[in-house]
A and B are shown apart, each in its own frame.
Chain A
Amino acid sequence: MNIDDIKREFPIFDDKIQNNDLVYLDSANSSQKPRVVVDRIYDFYTKEFSNVGRSVHYLAVAATNLYEQTRVSVQKYINAKDKDEIVFTKGATEAINLVANTFGQKYLSEGDEVLLTELEHHSNYVPWHFLRKAKNIKIEFAEINDDGEVTLEAIEKKITNKTKIISVSHLSNVTGAILPIKEIVQLAHSKNIPVLIDGCQGAPHLKLDMQDIDCDFYAISGHKMYGPTGIGVLYAKKKWLEDLPPYQGGGGMINEVKKEGITYGELPNKYEAGTMATAQVIAFNESIKFMEKIGIQNIEKHEKELLDYGLEKLRKNNSVNIIGNPKEKGGVISFTIEGVHPHDIATILDEDGVAIRAGHHCCQILHDKLNLPATARASFGVYNMKDDIDKLDEAINKCKKIFNL
């Protein structure tokens, strides 16, 4: 595959940003958007707009069909058994909140344990914390090892007969560690414990097969998959979606509403209350097609090459410390520079058009464990090239020069 051609499909790279060619190394935060996605939003609003699932006029029917086509595309993309196992949400955060809320309501009570890991993003901790407050449940954290990974053994160590659900990242947004999710699911299922995978960083970079992974829930963020903001997916096994209570109440999710009582709609409408992010869902289909056209195996391979090149380059750069050394690692390099705070690094790099993230990356538990208040992070997308890493390395050297290192 030709990365130059792929990069040209992203309009953001057409123009200079603050007089620089953009070196975008913040895709773990949010990816840039290909023209097909942006155009699809424009076309939908200008030529095809209507609300979905309600009216019977031509535009409403057409919009509903488009909306449902995305559901089928997602189903196929992640190899879910049934299209009704795909629930659209406003993001992965909402997907996790949906599970925590509904599963918590039905199955968690005082003293029950939820097992997370020390790697988790705040969005896979805070929703469970609400339950800790409301229901007095306990939250356990499987520990990371010195390489910044969470092993199957670390998970096993924390499972007790009180563990009611396990919720773990697929791929860490800080250390880049890829968790052994299939093995975690097997282990959990052998003890009758359901598993939620936070797939924010997994879905954009790794091949997904829900039937193979066999997880109960998988949360996906659209805007990290070259899609629009405001769209996410909750994959959930049908048995759970049928079993759990609805999440939000409103139009579209009901069957019959009477003064005496209400019955809820069929799947997946039961979990899609109110007017959904219609244009985003429809444009998200283009993101899926875009990724399918390149091929996830090719994306994986390309990003692995970038990662290996980046790690080699930065390891050679004195005073750069790379955070974590997982054996299975995605396209994320978090680092510190001795004597320069990550925010200063980010500001100085930005001056040369190198966009990275600095801070705790919504993982304060992990940073506390690492005893670091903040790190700098470069993360890759399909449009990155080795040249971007060279520019990162040069900008790091400029940083060191300013700070007299």
Chain B
Amino acid sequence: MDLKDLYQEIILDHGKNPRNLGKFDNYNKDAKGNNPLCGDNVHVYLRLNENKKVEDIAFEGHGCAISMASASIMTDMVRGKEEKEVKEIVNDFLGMIKEKDSLENNILKDDEKTKLMSLSGVKQYPMRVKCATLSWHTLTSALDNSDQIVKTEE
């Protein structure tokens, strides 16, 4: 285990200055997620246009560097993507965080994948995986119009 794998510069940066933080007015989908064990929470807002494209996305919430960075990078990454693509990216990311060594989707560019892979350090810290995945599960819930609050403890 190496802390440098977990707290990479890019994560510290996104954790400290999260992008897309704050609600915007004309969202048409949203969902909440929380982690009952530690009290972290996130609220994802997005606007899906008539072509099922994510026109805008943002989040509110508080949490550790990992969870804030993960939500920040996620929102950056899925803006402008079609719903189907977003779901593929989410699945790919969750697969990578849990077991796979790399990302397999053909939607993200190589530099985007590198950015996303910066979160792979959490694999060595099983208690922290939920920090990285909370916003992603919440994004899925928003897309599926689920009014169930996402909980990381399942």
Note all chain B residues with C-beta closer than 8 A to A265: none
Inter-subunit contact A402/B39 (CB<8 Å): no
Inter-subunit contact B38/A360 (CB<8 Å): yes
In this assembly, does B24 line the interface, its C-beta being within 8 Å of a C-beta of chain A?
A: no
Stretch in A2-10, A224-232, A286-294, A342-350 with 4+ CB within 8 Å of B? A342-350
Inter-subunit contact B65/A360 (CB<8 Å): no
Stretch in B1-9, B50-58, B87-95, B107-115 with 4+ CB within 8 Å of A? B1-9
In this assembly, does A403 line the interface, its C-beta being within 8 Å of a C-beta of chain B?
A: yes
Give A403 to B68 CA distance when docked, in angstroms.
14
Closest-CB distance, B83 to chain A (whole angstroms): 31
In this assembly, does A185 line the interface, its C-beta being within 8 Å of a C-beta of chain B?
A: no
In this assembly, does B131 line the interface, its C-beta being within 8 Å of a C-beta of chain A?
A: yes
In this assembly, does A364 line the interface, its C-beta being within 8 Å of a C-beta of chain B?
A: yes
Inter-subunit contact A343/B131 (CB<8 Å): yes
Note all chain B residues with C-beta closer than 8 A to A367: 39
In this assembly, does A373 line the interface, its C-beta being within 8 Å of a C-beta of chain B?
A: yes
Q: A351-B1, A359-B39, A364-B39 are in contact. Are A341 and B12 (CB under 8 A)?
A: no
Inter-subunit contact B1/A341 (CB<8 Å): no
Q: A359-B38, A360-B38, A364-B39 are in contact. Are A347 and B6 (CB under 8 A)?
A: yes
Inter-subunit contact B12/A373 (CB<8 Å): no
Note all chain B residues with C-beta closer than 8 A to A373: 39-41, 62-63
Note all chain A residues with C-beta closer than 8 A to B125: 347
Give A351 to B127 CA distance when docked, in angstroms.
13
Give A343 to B64 CA distance when docked, in angstroms.
6
Note all chain B residues with C-beta closer than 8 A to A340: 65
Known A341-B64, A347-B127; further 7 A-B contacts with Cβ < 8 A: A341-B68, A344-B66, A358-B38, A359-B39, A373-B39, A374-B39, A403-B12
Can you give 9 contacting A-B residue pairs, CB < 8 Å?
A: A339-B16, A343-B64, A344-B64, A344-B65, A351-B3, A358-B38, A359-B39, A374-B39, A404-B12
Q: Which 5 A-B pairs have the closest CB atoms?
A: A341-B64, A343-B64, A359-B38, A360-B39, A373-B39
